Amino acid sequence: MTDGAPRMTSRSPLLAVLGAVCALGALSLGCGITYFEIPIETPIQPKLDVSAFQRVLIAGFVAGGSEDVDANQETVRLLRSQLRSKSSLRVIDAEVMPLIEIAQDQNRSATADDEVPEPVGATNGVGGAPERGDQPLPLPQEIRDEKDIEPYERLFANTAYWKRIGEEHQNPLIVTGTVLFMPHTRSGFVSRDQEQYDSFGRRRIVPTRTFTERKGFILRPKFVFIDGRTGATMHSESYREEILYNAQQNTPALSSYFELMDRLVPNFLNALSSQKIRGTRVLLK
Amino acid sequence: MLLRLAACLAIVTATSAAPVRADARSDARAQVEFGIDVAQRGLWREAIYRWQRAVEIDPTYAAAFNNLGVAYEHEGEFDKARGAYEKALQIEPENVQIRQNFELFKEINDRRRSANDKP
């Protein structure tokens, strides 16, 4: 009898736990599932009202920074293909506009016009130079950085020019802008996990900080949306993306360009068309 | 005697209020379950109607508010979604699943707003 009592007491907590588990199990079975995962698609409305346009012209970009990538051609090609599949606007197939040359031509004619006296308040002719009244900044022949690209931006304010381009293509929405894709290096301490073995042969992962030189690229596009009916800028947006690799890693410039553009394309598309963000949520009973 | 009567009345009131609440919850639960069923078949407007009915019947039903938040989010009605999630969390602040839904919603909503705020 004296042996039985302790056995009884030692078993009773175990039985109690088992009982509780069974009770919980029965309860959950009785209640059934109380939540459901469901896929949802959240619509994001476009930033621009483009309902007045049936067509879009990706005209071209003032591009520079790296000689390894023709950022004008590649950006036009990429945006056209994205819009073809992800927008209801018809994409116009046209020659990619060499905007650097166009801007320089406009600049030359503006400078020439300045030398000939004209009545005050005269506006630029169709496809002509920017508005008079201020001395245009010289345009650098080669674009290496932000400073070089800045003077080219007045091209987008030339409403008469863009209106003429719009008329040539039956008044579409015009997308243009600047793209700077430039090589970039950065040195500094980088934290890395390092595998180490102690005296007992046990493996350990130890974070270590090492000084490394990394190289990569910076992509700085500015998208300008122009109303082809009036030549006026409707909207513009600028982005900056950067990618860095180990100095030993040899990544082609073009693949870096696409990697960086991939990050920006959803934002660009969202300016023109509604996007859907896929996700999962939990519905509860 | 009067005291006994008052005590009896209190007991009757207390015992009858509980079934009323239970009935409201079970009616609301039926609406919620139907809503889940139709939402799983992609009928989100119908689901919203059902979950709205559920919160009318039982305004303390956090799950119904949570589901409304999900449905409004799916329909792109961001202000309503935020309101519904906030109400659900007000009722059940410790509910991990509601909190998780709300965090995911906020992430998308913040991204959308920052994109729209850009000049």
**What's the whole-number mean pLDDT along residues A131-142?**
68
Residue type at position B54:
A
Q: Which of B50, B61, B67 to mutate to test the interface with A (most CBs of A within 10 A)?
A: B67
Please list every residue in chain B whose beta carbon sits closer than 8 Å to the beta carbon of residue A275. none
Two tokens, residue A274:
């509604």
**Does an H or E element contain A212, and which?**
strand A203-227
Output the CATH code of domain B24-117. 1.25.40.10
| Residue of chain A with shortest Cα separation from B101 | A281
φ, ψ (nearest 5 deg) of residue B20: -60, -45
Regarding an ipTM greater than 0.85, the answer is no
Cβ contact, residue pair A42, B74, below 8 Å: yes
Using CB atoms, which residue from B67, B95, B104 is nearest to A283? B67
Contacts of B35 (CB under 8 A, 6+ apart): B46, B47, B48, B49, B50, B51, B54, B64, B67, B71
Cα B79 from Cα B72, distance rounded (Å):
8
Q: Where are the domains of chain B?
A: 24-117
Q: Which CATH architecture has domain A38-183+216-284?
A: 3-Layer(aba) Sandwich (3.40)
Any chain B CB within 8 A of the CB of A39? no
Tokens 């007992």: give the residue.
A200
* Contact residues, A window 191-230, toward B, CB-based 8 Å cutoff: none
C-alpha pair distances (Å), B104 with each of A83, B24, B27, B40, B109: 28, 31, 30, 20, 9
Q: Is the pLDDT of residue A253 over 90?
A: yes
Per-residue pLDDT of chain B (119 residues; tens, 9 = 90+): 555 655 545 554 555 555 556 788 889 999 999 999 999 999 999 999 999 999 999 999 999 999 999 999 999 999 999 999 999 999 999 999 999 999 999 988 887 776 666 44
Using CB atoms, which residue from B62, B70, B116 is nearest to A40? B70
pLDDT 10s digits, A146-192:
899 999 999 999 999 999 999 999 999 999 999 999 999 888 887 87
Please check whether residue A183 is in contact with residue A245, taking contact to mean a CB–CB distance below 8 angstroms.
Answer: no
Q: Where are the domains of chain A?
A: 1-32, 38-183+216-284
Weakest-pLDDT range from A99-113, A117-131, B34-48:
A117-131
Using CB atoms, which residue from B76, B104, B116 is nearest to A43? B76
* Contact residues, B window 2-31, toward A, CB-based 8 Å cutoff: 29
